[in-house]
Chain A
Amino acid sequence: MNWAGLYTVLSGVNRHSTAIGRIWLSVIFIFRIMVLVVAAESVWGDEKSAFTCNTQQPGCNSVCYDHFFPISHIRLWALQLILVTTPALLVAMHVAYQQHQEKKLLMLTGHGDAKHMEEVKKHKMRISGSLWWTYVCSVIFRLIFEAVFMYIFYMLYPGYQMVRLVKCEAYPCPNIVDCFISRPTEKTIFTVFMLVTSSICIVLNMAELIYLVVRACARRGEHNSNPSSGKSSFYGHKLSSEYKQNEINQLLTEQDGSLKDMLRRNPGLQEKGDRCSAC
């Protein structure tokens, strides 16, 4: 499991995202993950071996490095990118659940052939109803994680600039000792770059949130401003997701009921791995 694996997992989610969501995903993969892998990792590659202190005292080097770099930038960015990309999996799980329900309904209504199943898998879910709430929550979590990591960065490495020299007096260093950091300018350039892309991602997430809220309000406004189409809306209501869900629930409870009856009459039938999935 590496960045490529994550890319595979998240490409699937891409299909059900908004346009802004897709742009956000491209920015994450190309300008953050890719830059991290092909460039930043080699800049920080020798951060410990080339960290030199002006002393012969054994252990002073290690202690000073540990004091000034509790967690390396690279590892912080890797954690940030993983945590920021995973809320999209909530959406993926919800979509998978909805597709599962649709497939069940199709099977119960006699359309359980391979063609219909493929059609369910292929078609793009509309972001409405409960999926809208899941999507909005995932965007909010992304925003929170980005903000938290930016703050942690600022706390650990105030100012984002990497200095050339740090003065260290932790035991066992004999007195205040000069320690020199490797490639400080290059590290500052990449830190600023990652910071800028992180801010761009925050802006994209906020734009996506606003877009989703405005769209939902607009849809609600349309719905409310068409009360005269009450008759047509009854038939429209038949196709609405709530009506569908009620139908699904009814069919499932009927099936559940008949299955439970069967199991009560023949207790030997119930095997370990063979439970009704609707139970």
Chain B
Amino acid sequence: MDWGALQTILGGVNKHSTSIGKIWLTVLFIFRIMILVVAAEKVWGDEQDDFICNTLQPGCKNVCYDHFFPISHIRLWALQLIFVSTPALLVAMHVAYRRHEKKRQFRKGDQKCEYRDIEEIRRQRFHIDGSLWWTYTSSIFFRLVFEAVFMYAFYFMYDGFRMPRLMKCNAWPCPNTVDCFVSRPTEKTVFTIFMIAVSSICILLNVAELCYLLAKFFLRRSKKAGNAKHHPNHENKEETKQNEMNELISDSCQNTVIGFTS
């Protein structure tokens, strides 16, 4: 179970997303997960082995490393990516539930069901309306919240995203203030800034998607309200037509009956 499996799971959700949602998913997989796996993990690979303190005191290095890096950047990013991608599963579950209901209708032989066979139900793409709209919007909202929380956690823990070359440590058992040197600080700074930038782009995409969904919702509502206004005249026209037809039919029937009797 690794990033590939997550991609398989989320690929299915892709079908029911908006275009912005599909772009967001692509950015997530290519610019964040892939960069994490092929590049960032190697940069942070020797973070503890090459964290060197200017002392021979056993234990000082461990303690200073733990003091300055309570949780490694790589693990934070991995957790962030997992949490940010999972709200999409809410949508997947809702879609699966809708499909299940449609299949049940189809099996019962419901006249309202417009599908020819079960395969069509399985392949069909659902429109984002009704309760699915609420689920989708909630999932985007949760994504935004998780992204923001992790960005804040990052900033809080590492005070500004920059990796310094030298840290001064005086935690026990270090005998006094000791110089500790971080491995590959510039490369780490570059990747940290890159991941932060891509995270911000993802936040913007999520906000755009939210705005798009809200705009679509209000537009649809106003269209419906507009139709309802014109609807009474339209209905009258339909009814008058139907009445005329009924009259003609009943007249012709009467004539036929009279014809028979005579």
Q: Do A and B come from one complex?
A: yes
For B151, the chain A residues whose CB sits under 8 A away are: none
Does B179 touch A at the CB level, under 8 Å? Answer: no
B contact residues, range: 20 to 34
- The answer to whether A54 touches B2 (Cβ under 8 A) is no
Among B1, B3, B62, the residue within 8 A (CB) of A50 is: B62
Query: Secondary structure of the B side of the interface?
Result: helix
A186 and B89: CB pair below 8 A?
no
Q: How far is the CA of A53 from the CA of B59 in the complex (A)?
A: 7
Q: Are A46 and B59 touching (Cβ within 8 A)?
A: no
Q: How far is the CB of B205 from chain A (nearest CB, A)?
A: 22
Q: 1/0 per position for A26-68, CB-CB distance to B under 8 A?
A: 1001110111011100110010001011110000000000000
Check if A185 is an interface residue, CB within 8 A of chain B. yes
Q: B59 contacts which chain A residues (CB < 8 A)?
A: 52-54, 165, 178-180
Return chain B residues, CB-CB under 8 Å to A55: 58
Chain B CB within 8 A of A157 CB: no
- Describe A's contact surface by its main secondary structure: helix
Contacts of A6 in B (CB 8 A): 1
Which of A23, A53, A181, A189 contacts B58 (CB under 8 A)? A53
Q: In angstroms, how far is the closest chain A Cβ from the Cβ of B89? A: 6
A54-B173, A180-B59 as given contacts; A38 in contact with B66, CB under 8 Å = no
Whether B258 is near chain A, meaning CB under 8 Å from some CB there, is no
Specify the chain B residue showing the minimal Cβ separation from A27.
B86
State which size class the interface on A falls in: 35 or more
Residues of B within 8 A of A35 (CB): 78-79, 82
Q: Is A34's CB under 8 angstroms from B66's CB?
A: no
Q: Which residue of B lies closest to A29 (CB)?
A: B1
- B176: interface (CB < 8 Å): no
- Verify if B244 is at the interface (C-beta below 8 Å from A): no
Query: Inside 8 A of B196's CB, which chain A residues have their CB?
Result: none
Q: A29-B1, A33-B1 given as contacts; is B86 within 8 A of A42 (CB)?
A: no
Would you list which residues of chain B between 77 and 95 have a CB under 8 Å from chain A? 78-79, 82, 86, 89, 93
Extra inter-chain contacts (20) besides given A29-B5, A39-B79, A183-B72, CB under 8 Å = A3-B1, A23-B93, A30-B82, A30-B86, A31-B82, A39-B78, A43-B75, A46-B49, A52-B58, A52-B59, A53-B59, A54-B58, A55-B58, A178-B58, A180-B173, A182-B48, A183-B66, A186-B71, A189-B70, A190-B75
